[in-house]
Structure 1
């Protein structure tokens, strides 16, 4: 893969799931990879398996350390770390703040440290793991859905603002992926996401294809494109459909 071979890549939230799959795929394609995760042991385990460098810690605060580990240049930054909505009907202000901080502001802070170098060189790639919840929504996951919409909006803004200056942006929007986060969604995830869930490696495959074609939107579940079009074409009909799913979930959940 010519767009990746020899490049310096950072993948956040890469101690497992989608992040680990991305890190492994980039390494297999000949990239020099930094594996980031809050859990240092998980980051080190993934890095050891692919001859990468582990840089654990807050994803938005490791740009300088990751750049040093890669010899001075970050070519591709994958903002993959994220948090879901806690279970229950009522979320605290702290729950909302945590979601905004990790799912949106971590991206903003990372770009703040990366963008000057990218613009000076006239090249760089920012990959945002958004989720289909950011294109559509997800029942039972208010803070996740709202902040993933924010992550998508930020990725769109970066692309439209800087694409003529060499910045390429990709937004990954899968539905269910067989990870710990899917397991944590409980009965809502079992109803909506589990039936069509894919392996994390399929997400990595979809990103590789999108990077080769310089496509902004990465849809590991192709059917999401149709859902997105339906939502835009007739919002009320789409909301009625989603509300029926919500009602079905409420009956299942008790």
Structure 2
């Protein structure tokens, strides 16, 4: 016999325990795009407690769609080692350009991050941050459905030794910090520099270069790094995203 109430209890009990267990972590990542999932993978692989909070139902950011919904992505030679480590198949196109199936790439990044020990909570938005002694030390969370419906429902708070903004072009956590906390960002102007028009060659380099701490306790990776420190967008080439996620993890591992 299948008991619908037992099914409901199993889901509610298990999810509640998982969420409670991740209200205090080493690293909280906002955004389950490719850079966020790569960052989580390398941190969890080293035994760090990591939680990703993704506002959408699905993970992967723009990687699912490849370019104009042609589900192929390009990765340059420098990042192919990450594809290989994750077990994502790729094939040489020409002159150091490698192609990968965007569906396989996204699904594999997610699966490997989870298998490494990271937790992913989808349909959850970070609507604010927790700051103590002028340092980012947690996220304020609510259901995305609450946000979309504009319901007056209070959020919950979780604590993290470090927070990573992996929210892509929007740089949502960075903007919350600069607009609400009074903290001066570690950019030239003290505020988010903003993202420029597409220039893949420059963007791939600056995405990795700009990855790092943008405010005390807050790191940026992926397209959020260019939105914070300034740099163009890159389009459907994802090597910089993967390398950025790995760099963020490596820098955080030195601090933890």
TM-score norm. by structure 2 comes to 0.37
- Say which structure is richer in strand: 2
Highest RCO, 1 vs 2 (Cα 8 Å, sep ≥ 6) = 2
- Say which structure is richer in helix: 1
